[in-house]
Amino acid sequence: MNNNKGFNLLSVIVIIFVTSIVSAITVGIIITNSYNGTDKITYGKLIQDEELQEFLRVYETVINDYYDDVDKEKMLESAMNGMLNYLGDNYTMYMSKEEKDALSEKLEGSYKGIGVTIQNCEIIELNPKGPAYNSGLKVGDTIIGVDSEEFSTCEEDGSTTTKITNAIKNNDKEKVIIKVKREDDILNFEIKLSEVVIPNVDSYMVENTKIGYISVSIFSDNIGEQFNEALESLKDLGMESLIIDLRNNTGGFLDGAKDIASSILPKGKLIYTLKNKDKEQSFYDETSESLDIPIVILINGLSASSSEILTAALKDSYSATLIGTKSYGKGKVQQTYTLEDGSMAKYTTALWLRPNGDCIDGIGITPDIEVPIRIESDADGVEHSVDDSLTKAIDYLQGQN
C-alpha cells in the first residue's frame, strides 16, 4: 500500500475485473497450483473499458468534492466488500491484513514463537513441540510482560492478548523474556524463539486392536508431512487397518488433500478433476507410495472442501468405507489475490469433480453407514455427544479382519 491513504488504483482495477468474471467466492479450499483460464484481462483492456472509467470518475469526484473528509482506504474496502457481496455467495470474502495473517498462520501449519496458547492473557496450553514446553512456564500462568513491555491489566476485548502475541511473534531477537504472575509470585523465563509446528494431526493405535487412528483437523501447508509421519509410526506398531477422522475439518489447502491421497492410493489413480469455464484438468497420484489395508473415513456435516476431496478420492479410487453423517457439500476451489497492504480477496476459479465424475457442491457426500449424532445427559444433567461413529468404525474394521 502507498504511504498516502487508499489503495493503489491499478490494484483496485484488477480486483474489480477479476472478481466480475467469477460466479462465487468461498473459503474452504485454497488452490496453490496454477490453474487459470486462457482469456486474460490485461491492463490495456482495463484502461479502455468505459464502465471502469465511469467508476474512476465517480471515485475522483467523491474524493475531490465531498463536503467532509473521506477515508479513501475504508471507502475502497467498502467498494471491494460490495463487489464481492454482489456475487451472492455465503463464502464471498474480503479479508483485512490481520484476518489474512491469522488464516495464513493457521494454514501454513507453523509460526514463529514459543509454543503457547493464550486466552485473556493466561496460558491455556503448551505445545509439546514448542520451546516453552520445557521452559518452566505452566498452564494457568498469566503473562504480564514481554521483554521490556509491561501489561499491567488485561482488557476483556482481547486487545491485550493480541499485544502479547504480537510482542512475541514480531520479536527480532533470538530469545524473549516472558514475565508471568503465578499465584503470588512474579517469575521471568528466558525462552528461545523458534519455528513452532502447529499439530493438526492426532494418531494412536486403538487399544487391544491392530486398528490405527488418524484425525486431521485442517489441511495446512505441511499436513502431508504430518500425516505421513503418523502413518509410518502406526505401520511400525503393526497397523492392519486405518480410521481417518475428518469430522469438523472444514478444509484448507487443496494440495494437502492431494498429498494425503497420494500416500494411500496406488500410482495412477484419479484424485480429483478441476472444471472451470474453459476446460477440465484431472489430477492423478504420481507417487510410488500406497496402502493395501481396509480404511474407514469418519465424516459429518462440518467435513467440507478439502475434507470432501480426500473422502471422495479414497471412496472412488480406493473403496474406503464412509461412516457418520452427510458431509457439508462444498465443491468449489479458490485462488487468492493479495493487495499491497497485505489484505486479501478469495475468489472461486473452478468446481472440483470426484473421481466418479460427480460434483458434490450443495449436495455433500453420503456415508455408506450412517450413524446419527446421539446426545446423552450425565448424572448432573449436562448434555454431551456420544461418539457412536468411532465405535461403529472400530466394530466394522474388526469384522473385516
Query: Tell me, what's the pLDDT at 260?
Result: 97
* Same domain, yes or no: 379 and 239: yes
> How far apart, in Å, are the Cα atoms of 72 and each of 10, 59, 66, 78, 96?
15, 9, 12, 10, 15
Which of 175, 197, 219 lies at the terminal end of a domain, its last residue? 197
Residues 291-337: tens digit of each pLDDT: 999 999 999 999 999 999 999 999 999 999 999 999 999 998 877 88
% of the chain surpassing 70 pLDDT: 88
- Cα–Cα distance measured from residue 354 to residue 270, given in angstroms and rounded to the nearest whole number: 9
Which residue has cell 511400525?
A: 236
Q: Would residue 339 count as lying in a domain?
A: no
Contact 323, 392 (CB under 8 A): yes
* Same domain, yes or no: 50 and 151: no
Averaged pLDDT, 347-368: 93
Which of 85, 105, 125 lies at the terminal end of a domain, its last residue? 105
Q: Would residue 4 count as lying in a domain?
A: no
Nearest to 220 by CA among 202, 198, 203: 198
- Cα–Cα distance measured from residue 251 to residue 230, given in angstroms and rounded to the nearest whole number: 19
The count of structural domains within the chain is: 3
Domain that holds residue 396: 201-334+349-400
Q: Would residue 343 count as lying in a domain?
A: no
Which of 151, 179, 197 lies at the terminal end of a domain, its last residue? 197
* Same domain, yes or no: 375 and 311: yes
Query: Tell me, what's the pLDDT at 197?
Result: 84
* Same domain, yes or no: 52 and 124: no
Instruction: Tell how far CA 126 is from the center of its chain.
Output: 21
pLDDT band at 30 (very low <50, low <70, confident <90, very high): low
pLDDT band at 22 (very low <50, low <70, confident <90, very high): very low
- Cα–Cα distance measured from residue 352 to residue 227, given in angstroms and rounded to the nearest whole number: 23
Q: Would residue 344 count as lying in a domain?
A: no
Q: Which of 11-25, 64-78, 348-362 has the highest mean pLDDT?
A: 348-362
